[in-house]
Chain A
Amino acid sequence: MSTLFYETDMMTSHKAMQTIPGKTRLVVIGNGMAGIRTLEEFLKMSPHDFEITVFGAEPQPNYNRILLSPVLSGEMAFQDTVLNDWDWYEKNHITLHAGKRVSRIDRHRRVVESEDGLSVPYDRLLIATGSNPIMLQIPGIDLPGVLAYRSIDDVEKMLAASRTAKRAVVVGGGLLGLEAANGLSRQGMEVSVVHLCDWPMERQLDQAGGNLLKSALEKRGLKFYLSRQTEAILGENIGGEDKVTGLRFKGGEEIPADLVIMAAGIRPNIALAKSAGIHCDRGIVVNDTMQTFDPKIYSVGECVQHRGQTYGLVAPLFEQARVAANHLAEYGRMRYEGSSVSTKLKVTGIDLFSAGDFNPAPDDEELLFQDAARGVYKKLVLRNNRLRGAVLYGDTVDGTWYFQMMRDGTDVTELRDHLLFGQGHLGDAGRGGVANVANMPDSAEICGCNGVCKGAIVKAIIEKKLFTLEEVRLHTKASSSCGSCTGLVEALLINTVGGDYSAKPSKKPICACTELSHEEVRDAIGRLRLKNIPDLMRLLEWKKPDGCHICRPALNYYLLTANPAEYRDDSRSRFINERVHANIQKDGTYSVIPRIWGGVTTPAELRSIAEIAERHEVPTVHITGGQRIGLFGITRENLPRMWAELADAGFVSGHAYGKALRTVKTCVGREWCRFGTQDSTGLGIKVEKMTWGSWTPHKFKIAVSGCPRNCAEATIKDLGVVCVDSGYEIHVGGNGGIKVRVTDFLCKVASEEEVLEYCGAFMQLYREEALYMERTAPWIERAGLAEIKQRIVDDAPGRAGLYARFLESQRYSQDDPWRERALGKDAHEFEALATIA
């Protein structure tokens, strides 16, 4: 019977269907942010034949709802908010039914029907119907002049009203309400905000932060009616037309109004799904693959309830979109595991950020910072030394930093003292201590490496429709070099689009070639006993046959540390500096820096360097910051000859430019210095002889100072030894580069032998557990000093094991790469294939 029905129905709506046989039919209900984001992700995976149809109740193409606030305040035109214009649908062969609302889902026949009688069959269905604004059920709610704030249609009505009406009242002092109020006030209206609670944005701010916000907004002309419950909207009939005239609160108080905006919250839009018998609670219930109770039907966005949670910000919806797309495209790999969210009020000139749970429970700790004069307020909530929540007002540059630590569950014990002062306080070169990006002029330089100013970044975010840090990096190059301006760029992103989209999910894939994270890959190498890159890529289902420049060097490193004896290094997966053991320079020539053990040299060595430099007409000889002599401007063809000569003069080097041991800096120590307590120079040389040649996740620098005056700057090195009268202090995790980080004190030992053992053990732990391209400083902050102390200091057998593994792997890495190449290894790297006259 039902088959017959189906056919009849097919025939009646024949025109709209044009089904192409053999294609999987995907229908999307909802042309909003989550639904279309899912399609974008879906198209990126270039799945096999799909026929895609989209229904959208709104007549516009897909636009950025978040930017309605700047449209309302007059800072942006609607056209600038369009994310995908009509062409996009056409180019991707998507049939768009804009302005058509779906009124029925027939799950039995797998057909959706629109209000105006269109019916389209599906094999897969995606419901992304968003949410509806809550319209309080009070007298007067249906009066003209009472509007919601959800769509461009609402905004246009508000703008039209603002031209004639004078007084606006916004019901609801949350994020949306305040943005509406600000916008209308910028349009010249007198605006009041009515709110149930004692302070605005109580879901994002504690009372102190809320009060600061309230007075800032009052200074801009907004009026607040707090702790008021609206009982009725008043109106009268003037000249045959109903009009709003005011509001009445519980208790009888009345205020005048010509326009009323309802911003009292949103409710997941589930009516359609519910009527189709799909299991709903507060939202449409989905599992970790974004699948509803009907396996053919997926759902994403504000209409969804996942693990009991509904979301009202785009960052989590975009994560959902990636997962849903992955399953719709039948990759079936990813899972959505819920999100934590941060918020930012998009009112120009007001800097506010909040994330997590900022109302401390009885056992939580609260860190507070208040500077009334500067209008800065910060509150951090800690539980068991981990961040649970943050409220920032007036200075929000560190918002993303806190948020990241919150999501990572970072132990902040070691950071506590300066946590409130932010990451800048930890020493960040090139950032100039700016705090308030909102007030920076457009011409302010944000990225010092690439010379990108604020205006250019904001423009790119808007014009190119960027949502994530990665996208901003790609398009503007800001924050893509040394990374010290990342916090500022993230703050600009948040300021412009109003939320944290950098959504570094707790699990971050190595690169676009895989879904797997560094940890998972390293784990698989051990578990599956992977021995080379091609096998690894095959077994772990790499998306590109030979990966890319990001994953290959990482894989090569992980394989090498896992099997030092057997692994055959893949030079094709090494960056040029490591492939030819010299540092490439801006003009394509190389710098050559021979190893000077512990920074100690001899007249004979100096003489040979001088002669070689002269013979090769080296343009620049520079005393480096690492106690060596650098020869700059050597051509590729010349490298092997030069190395042959250096090797003959007794120099070893090669790893001087890699992710490897760099230098061991020393001071003159006990032998000459009147304060020296131990033989720092001799010890430095021993350490360098033991560690040279070792590959590490990122470069590794060591220094040994003869006394606490610390002339070798040991406390900003990856590992530093400070000699004292009674022995040797070992310090770890320092960095003197982009972000200065002083080392943490690891322990004190009594003998040189112990220094060597602890040093080897620490390096091995770093080699085995840090992620590729992660220096010791961020690694220690991630892993926690306590854990590292436990493994190196407390656990003696563990330490001995690490040390033994370090020495074992050194057996295979201490051959002089320069000599090898001088003798002809990899000659193809240096010689031209042919010369055409």
Chain B
Amino acid sequence: MNWIQVGKLEDIPRQGSRVVNTPRGEIAMFRSVDDRVFALDNRCPHKGGPLSQGIVHGKRVTCPLHNWVIELETGNAAPPDAGCAQRHEVRVTHGVLFLENRIED
């Protein structure tokens, strides 16, 4: 796999999110309260709401538009809502964030 360095862990606030711009659209990177980092397309499976702007709780984010709850690990909407946001692999090494690069495949 091809990894791209996108920043440092401390650049994302705990229980917060930052966006990475890519030619294929925005990817939201989330940091949970216990410092785990996840990445999803910044598009809610419901109506495309920017997930990066939602409230992060546990390993979930609540979409700011209509409150769907999305699992950060899988991108799946919590039932009974159904849908999935594309997830991306993340690696954190010594506080540096790497994002899986799919641009070239």
Contact = CB atoms under 8 A, between A and B. Distances in A.
Given A833-B18, A834-B21, A835-B21, A552 B65 contact: no
Interface residues of A, number: 30
Contacts of A553: 55
Interface string B37-58: 0000000000111100111111
A836 B22 contact: yes
Contacts of A832: 18-21, 26
Interface stretch (A276-284, A539-547, A643-651): A539-547
Contacts of B22: 835-836
Contacts of B11: 828, 833
A835 B20 contact: yes
Nearest to B103: A836
A374 interface: no
B101 interface: yes
Nearest to B101: A836
Contact of B6 (A544, A552, A571, A833): A833
Task: Classify the interface of chain A: helix, strand, loop or mixed.
Answer: loop
B18 A549 contact: no
A572 interface: yes
Nearest to A471: B80
A738 interface: no
Give the one of A548, A574, A586, A588 with max B CB within 10 A.
Answer: A588
A833 B57 contact: no
A546 B20 contact: no
Interface in B58-77: 58, 60, 62, 64-67, 69
Contact of B33 (A545, A549, A584, A834): A545
A628 B62 CA distance: 30
B29 interface: yes
Interface string B10-41: 01111110111111001001001110000000
A474 B78 CA distance: 11
A576 B54 contact: yes
- Counting chain A CB atoms within 10 Å of each CB, the highest count among B15, B22, B48 belongs to B15
Given A833-B18, A836-B6, A544 B103 contact: no
Nearest to B34: A545
Nearest to A548: B57
Given A828-B11, A835-B21, A546 B33 contact: yes
Range of interface residues on B (Cβ < 8 Å):
35 or more
A552 B20 contact: no
Contacts of B69: 549
A546 B6 CA distance: 26
A549 B55 contact: yes
Most B CB contacts (10 A, CB to CB) among A475, A547, A572 go to: A572
B95 interface: no
Contacts of B64: 575-576, 584
Contact of B21 (A475, A545, A836): A836
Interface in A532-589: 544-549, 552-553, 571-576, 584, 586-588
A575 B55 contact: yes
Given A548-B62, A586-B65, A833-B20, A572 B56 contact: yes
Given A548-B58, A836-B23, A475 B65 contact: no
A572 B23 contact: no
Interface string A585-602: 011100000000000000
A546 B4 CA distance: 30
Contact of B13 (A481, A828, A835): A828
Contact of B16 (A547, A575, A587, A828): A828
A552 B55 contact: yes
Contacts of A575: 55, 64
A837 interface: yes
A572 B11 CA distance: 15
Given A475-B80, A547-B57, A552-B57, A833 B12 contact: yes
Contacts of B18: 828, 832-833
B77 to A, nearest CB: 12
A88 to B, nearest CB: 16
Contacts of A588: 48-50, 53
Nearest to B61: A549
B57 A546 contact: yes
A587 B12 CA distance: 23
Nearest to A572: B15
Contacts of B53: 576, 584, 588, 636
B80 to A, nearest CB: 5
Given A572-B13, A588-B50, A836-B101, A549 B62 contact: yes
A473 to B, nearest CB: 10
A424 to B, nearest CB: 26
A548 B15 CA distance: 11
A636 B66 CA distance: 19
B65 A544 contact: no
Nearest to A474: B80
Given A547-B57, A549-B67, A572 B14 contact: yes
Given A572-B13, A832-B18, A546 B103 contact: no
A109 to B, nearest CB: 43
A467 to B, nearest CB: 14
Contacts of B101: 836
B79 to A, nearest CB: 9
Interface string A805-837: 000000000000000000000001000111111
Contacts of B80: 464, 474-475
Contacts of A545: 33-34, 58
A572 B57 CA distance: 9
Contacts of B56: 572
A73 B67 CA distance: 40
Among A549, A828, A835, the most chain B Cβ lie within 10 Å of the Cβ of A549
A456 to B, nearest CB: 13
A584 B65 contact: yes
B72 to A, nearest CB: 13
Contacts of B15: 546, 572-573
A831 to B, nearest CB: 8
A122 B61 CA distance: 42
Most B C-beta atoms less than 10 A away, residue of A475, A552, A832? A832
19 contacts: A474-B80, A545-B34, A548-B55, A548-B57, A552-B55, A571-B13, A572-B56, A584-B64, A586-B47, A587-B48, A636-B53, A828-B13, A828-B18, A833-B6, A833-B19, A833-B29, A834-B20, A835-B22, A836-B20
Given A549-B62, A552-B55, 11 more contacts: A544-B58, A549-B67, A574-B55, A586-B47, A588-B48, A588-B49, A828-B11, A832-B21, A833-B18, A836-B6, A836-B21
Interface of B: 4, 6-7, 11-16, 18-23, 26, 29, 32-34, 47-50, 53-58, 60, 62, 64-67, 69, 80, 97, 99, 101, 103
5 nearest CB pairs, A to B: A833-B18, A549-B62, A572-B15, A549-B55, A834-B6
